[in-house]
Amino acid sequence: MSKPRKPFYFVFIVFLPILQIFTNAQGQAVDTTITINANSPTIVNFAGRRMDGPAKANPRNFSFIHTEAGSENLARRISEVKLFGTDGKGMADRKLVDGEYLAEGDIGSWRYKIDLEVPNEKNAAAHISWISNDRGILMLSDILPLAAQVKENITAIRFELPQGWKIHSSETMIVQDVFLTSDAGNAVFYIGKDWRERKISSGKFDLRLAISGEWLFSDEDAAAMAQEIFAEYRKIFGSDPAANATIAIGKFPAATNSGSWEAETRGRNVTVISSDMPFKTQSLQRLHEQLRHEIFHLWLPNGVNLSGNYDWFYEGFTLYQSLKTGVALNQIRFEDFLDTISRAHNIDSSQTRRMSLIEASQNRWIGADTQVYARGMVVAFVCDLMLLQSSKGKMSVGDLFRTVYNSHRPPDPAADANTAILKVFASHPHLASVVENYVKGSQKIDWRVQLDLAGIESEPGNTRSILRVKTKLSGSQKALLDKLGYNNWRKLTRKS
Ligand SMILES: [Zn+2]
């Protein structure tokens, strides 16, 4: 049974705050109602209207996105589109292709349905909207018309859901089941009966966990883990991300192999869709890995106003920092840290078509993603060693993150990412050769000098690099290894 429609006066009192906010905003205002019926929950009804006249740009066009993170033909899920004029009267329209309509006049309101059946490609469950039985994820980017996702627009989203369904979101709830967003393209709603919500203690910052399904770890384990990782990153960046955030952890909606997972951090929403592991220790370890990577993205890239292809920095460098944080929080042994970096170095060295990091970032979606990740991670490690060595342990790769974050947070104006980041690198003269040879250049990474200064060597007799800590270490090598977390495990054992 779905809830009865709300009476008119309720709708009216909700309009008032929206209009007040709207008068202060640059863009236009859109009001959308999303209705889900208990007897056919995957067929979702949408009704929207513009609250301040036709769209400023292309007022007769009505269109949706077609692809998202590798999922194609998304507009094929849309049916029964009905467009109305600004006077509320029905209008004829021409369907150009799936998800593209042209009305005979300026559009004032609309209705349509979308079939949110679980996507066939299982990994898509972390990137596009779906509903399965009593649970679903709504990502507005693939279910609202593009005209309702314009950045400056204020969009009100009201939900009419089956009995017992709840909504978890980072967006502002103004009254029960009604939310306001000024960034609909990045808004995510976790809906259904079996999401359990928990507040994660993180000072003034409002961080929430929405979790569904049964796991080998408890909800408390997940919340404590997210709290610890968040606190660690806050130390690196020196401040919180801009606004509240939600971390959602759920099972795949369709059966999958043990061990597979997919995650995404969109706006202020971390979505981890996963299967469990056979044993609790593995299950906890993997959750830690997922959260270490994704939570970092709340600051970088999602917390900065930078544009362009700079995946080498926000993915490659993130992988490195996430690994280093794993050592710092005693989740990863130092040997495994070195082993992962060795493997990344081997991947980069074996590329026949050599690419600079800047070039690899431009081609990430056409096969260069391994290079972005592997080369980016090794370059981050080399930068970290250089900064630690030149500053006698006072600076690290964390200083690069902090400067980039603090120099480009909204409301700072948008800037080109690669120009901005290379400017930060340029303030550390020791990094000039790294930028020239590896970020802008496509040379193989020669790290012998830095490794030696750090007391790390490549195992002799191997053509591929297998890193290990030297048996005899000088005082400065010991100090540097300590900064990388080499002695963490021992410190922990001494404490306990
Ligand atoms: Zn990532």
Domain boundaries, the chain: 8-193, 194-297, 300-496
241 token code pair:
């991300």
Buried b (16+ CB within 10 A) or exposed e, 415-431: bebbebbbebbeebeeb
Query: What is the rounded distance in angstroms from the CA atom of residue 78 to the CA atom of residue 65?
Result: 11
CA of 275 to the centre of ligand 1 (A): 19
Judge whether 149 and 141 are in contact, CB under 8 Å. yes
Reported as a pLDDT band with limits 50, 70 and 90, residue 256 is confident
CA of 44 to the centre of ligand 1 (A): 30
Query: What is the rounded distance in angstroms from the CA atom of residue 359 to the CA atom of residue 364?
Result: 9
Peptide bond into 411 cis (omega under 30): yes
Query: What is the rounded distance in angstroms from the CA atom of residue 386 to the CA atom of residue 48?
Result: 55
Query: What is the rounded distance in angstroms from the CA atom of residue 327 to the CA atom of residue 329?
Result: 5
Query: What is the rounded distance in angstroms from the CA atom of residue 462 to the CA atom of residue 447?
Result: 16
Closest CA to 143 of 72, 45, 263, 50: 45
Percentage of residues in the chain with pLDDT exceeding 70? 92
Q: Which of 79-83, 267-271, 369-373, 471-475 has the lowest mean pLDDT?
A: 369-373
DSSP string, 317-363: IHHHHHHHHHHHTTSS-HHHHHHHHHHHHHHHHT-SS---HHHHHHT
Residue 242's pLDDT is 85
Judge whether 259 and 290 are in contact, CB under 8 Å. no
The residues near 459 (Cβ < 8 Å, ≥ 6 apart) are: 465, 466, 467, 468
CA of 283 to the centre of ligand 1 (A): 20
Residue 23's pLDDT is 52
Judge whether 483 and 395 are in contact, CB under 8 Å. no
Report H helices in 170-300: 219-237, 280-296
The model's pTM is 0.92
Residue 465's pLDDT is 81
CA of 160 to the centre of ligand 1 (A): 33
Q: Which of 31-35, 243-247, 351-355 has the lowest mean pLDDT?
A: 351-355
Residue 118 vs residue 13, higher pLDDT = 118
Residue 364's pLDDT is 66
Residue 102's pLDDT is 97
Helix (H, G, I), strand (E, B), or coil: what is residue 186?
A: helix
Question: Is the pLDDT confidence value at 163 over 50?
Answer: yes
Reported as a pLDDT band with limits 50, 70 and 90, residue 363 is confident
Q: According to CATH, what is the number of the domain 8-193?
A: 2.60.40.3650
CA of 320 to the centre of ligand 1 (A): 11
Query: What is the rounded distance in angstroms from the CA atom of residue 156 to the CA atom of residue 172?
Result: 10
Residue 25's pLDDT is 53
Q: Which of 201-205, 213-217, 286-290 has the lowest mean pLDDT?
A: 201-205
Helix (H, G, I), strand (E, B), or coil: what is residue 62?
A: strand
CA of 300 to the centre of ligand 1 (A): 9
Judge whether 302 and 246 are in contact, CB under 8 Å. no
CA of 335 to the centre of ligand 1 (A): 23
Q: Mind listing the pLDDT tens digit for each residue in 462-477?
A: 677 899 999 999 999 9
Question: Is the pLDDT confidence value at 310 over 50?
Answer: yes
DSSP class of residue 255?
A: -
Judge whether 50 and 43 are in contact, CB under 8 Å. no
CA of 18 to the centre of ligand 1 (A): 34
Question: Is the pLDDT confidence value at 230 over 70?
Answer: yes
Q: Mind listing the pLDDT tens digit for each residue in 263-276?
A: 999 999 999 999 99
116 token code pair:
């949110």
CATH class of 194-297: mainly alpha
CA of 264 to the centre of ligand 1 (A): 7
pLDDT averaged over every residue in the chain: 91
Judge whether 358 and 425 are in contact, CB under 8 Å. no
What does the pLDDT average to over 447-458? 95
Is it true that 8-193 and 194-297 share their CATH fold?
A: no
CA of 89 to the centre of ligand 1 (A): 46
- Which residues keep their CB under 5 angstroms from ion ligand 1? 315
CA count, 13 A, side-chain hemisphere, 306: 25
CA of 301 to the centre of ligand 1 (A): 9
